[in-house]
Structure 1
Amino acid sequence: MDLAASVGVRVRELREAQGISLSELARRSKIGKGTLSELESGRRNPTLDTLYALTTALKVPLSTALHDLASPAKISGDAVEAVLMERFEADASVTETYRIRIRCRATQESAAHSPGTTEHIIVLAGTARVGPLTDPVLIGPGMHGSWAADVPHLYQAPAGEDVEALLIVRYPQ
């Protein structure tokens, strides 16, 4: 099964397990009902932005829709490309590790995740502007940063090169 079909099945299972209709999930996630129907049936490739909107509306970590696939899931948005490397579940949290690329001179604004979610980044190459929309910081190669991800936040590669980084997202259970 390809990524679109696998993720579509997973999103439908998550929605149905919570007893949420297609219309209600479309409303909560601000994703069109037709788009959501195509995603669930595997006829449309999911973007990073769309999956974040859906998993946030379902109140589950992004990796819930991506883990246990045949190969590491690579998902892209307008500015960020992410590969899920690891998902770790503990009693108090779910922690995800991603290898990310932020495209040169691109910006991604991410909606707030569930309460208590935090993000941590280690920049491998390039310079990233990351963090809350109201107070992002510049992080260069070999540097790290962290921020509350339960508020709108951004990822940006303001200089003339892509940013390569490791991103760790921690969701409280």
Structure 2
Amino acid sequence: MTDLGATLAANVRALRESAGISLSQLAERSGVAKATLFKVERQHTNPTLDTMVAIADALGVTTTALLEQPADNELEIVRAGEGVDISDFASKGQILKSMVVGSVLVEIHHQVFSPGMAETSASHGPLAREHVFVRSGSIEVGPIGSAGVLKPGDYATYPADRTHRWTVVGQRKAEVWIVHTFARGQRDVPQ
């Protein structure tokens, strides 16, 4: 097998294991025989394009993702103010990183909420969750009916699969870091 075959084998195995599914479960989801999957993971076959597409679909990734070399854990830096702009009337912010980890899409946001402003967010889909770290200011966050006030240095997490609200407390802006987690397929990775 070529280096491409080794990459395919490693990626299929890593994606399957990170999703917590067995070869049998992947066979059932993809429609590819378990014996073929076994051979793919051990570099004992050159799968057809149809087989690779079926495996990729079952794992929730693109076919090209199955053939990409894994990163060498190189340092990645996102400078202040960089990222995908998600500013609106109540806050200025950026998505700093969006990545798939196992069966979960993870987004890291930096947002600054303006004093006197509130924002209501609709559900982000089944199993979505938000993790909030407050850097400065005070803000009330959480699902409507069970929100709490956070101050600098505080952390909170809550289900984001229901309507939730952000309300600045006091006369100072509130600067927060947010880690969003979404079930794969609930949100597309920004380009």
Q: TM-score range by the shorter chain?
A: 0.5 to 0.7
Q: 2-side partners of 1:149 and 1:116: how far apart?
A: 8
* Corresponding pairs, count: 103
Aligned partner of 2:128: which letter?
T
For residues 55-90 of structure 1, what are the alpha-carbon distances to aligned partners after superposition, in whole Å with 9 as ceiling and x for unaligned? xxxxxxxxxxxxxxxx62222122122211111212
Aligned partner of 1:73: which letter?
V
Runs of 5+ consecutive residues of structure 2 not aligned to the other structure:
1-81, 185-191
Matches within 5 A, 1:1-173: 72-173=83-184
Q: 2-side partners of 1:88 and 1:167: how far apart?
A: 14
**Two-structure CA RMSD over aligned residues (Å):** 1.1
Look up the SS of the partner of 1:76 in the other structure: coil
Structure (1 or 2) with the larger CA radius of gyration: 2
Aligned partner of 2:164: which letter?
H
Q: 2-side partners of 1:138 and 1:168: how far apart?
A: 18
Look up the SS of the partner of 1:142 in the other structure: coil
Q: Which runs of 4+ in 1 moved over 3 A?
A: none
Q: 2-side partners of 1:132 and 1:116: how far apart?
A: 14
Q: TM-score if structure 1 supplies the norm length? A: 0.57
Aligned partner of 2:157: which letter?
S
Q: TM-score if structure 2 supplies the norm length? A: 0.52
For residues 130-166 of structure 1, what are the alpha-carbon distances to aligned partners after superposition, in whole Å with 9 as ceiling and x for unaligned? 0001111000000100110000001111211000110
How far off its partner does 1:91 sit?
2.5
Runs of 5+ consecutive residues of structure 1 not aligned to the other structure:
1-70
Q: 1-side partners of 2:182 and 2:92: how far apart?
A: 20
Deviates more, 1:85-94 or 1:136-145: 85-94
